[in-house]
Structures are given as C-alpha cells and as structure tokens.
Amino acid sequence: MIEQKTKIGTIDITPTWESLIPVLVPLAAEGNVTAMNELRKLARIVDTHIANLKALRDEAPKAPVCPDCGVRGAHAFGCPLGVTTDG
Ligand SMILES: [Zn+2]
C-alpha cells in the first residue's frame, strides 16, 4: 500500500504594505476613504515603530551589561550563554 502524505498548512497571502502603495495612493488621492484609512494605519504603524526604536535607543545606555555575554539589558529567559539566569 502506498502511503500518500500530504502536508497541510496555511499559505500567507497577506500583501506587503510596499506592494499596496501603488494601489492605495491613487485611490486616496481620488478621495477613497478606505484607501486613506489604510494609509493612516500604515503611518500609525511606522510612527509607533519609530517611537519604540527611540525608546530602546534612549534606555539602552542605562541598562546593565550582562557579565556573561556582554549584551546590554536584561534577558527575558536568562542568558543564552547559560552561566547565570538572572540576566
Ligand atoms: Zn547574557
């Protein structure tokens, strides 16, 4: 008997923001509210990302350096080098 194995999974077909720009920008320029809202959503994501990066940059110098691996800041699950677990 031949056993046929089929791998079942999901395929992510979510378009990238970059691929949507050529579609969204002209629609928004024509007054399409949905397209404008999508561009606003993108802008919020970018603004949040930039704010998070700035916060990380501002906090990093104040965080202690791990004595085992030299990474600045606490390890959420212990040091990957494993000598100490308090990070
Ligand atoms: Zn470490």
Compute the distance from residue 84 Cα to the ligand 1 centre, in Å. Answer: 8
Helix, strand, or coil here: 72? strand
Compute the distance from residue 87 Cα to the ligand 1 centre, in Å. Answer: 6
pLDDT tens track of the chain, all 87 residues? 667 777 788 999 999 999 999 999 999 999 999 999 999 999 999 999 999 888 887 776 677 888 888 887 778 788 888 755 444
Neighbours of ion ligand 1 (CB under 5 A): 66, 68-69, 79
CB-neighbour burial class of residue 66 (10 A; exposed 0-12, middle 13-18, buried 19+) = buried
- Locate the domains of the chain by residue range: 15-87
CB 45 within 8 A of CB 52: no
Please indicate, yes or no, whether the overall pTM of this predicted structure exceeds 0.85: no
Compute the distance from residue 73 Cα to the ligand 1 centre, in Å. Answer: 9
Compute the distance from residue 66 Cα to the ligand 1 centre, in Å. Answer: 5
Helix, strand, or coil here: 60? helix
Give the pLDDT score at 71. 82
Give the pLDDT score at 31. 98
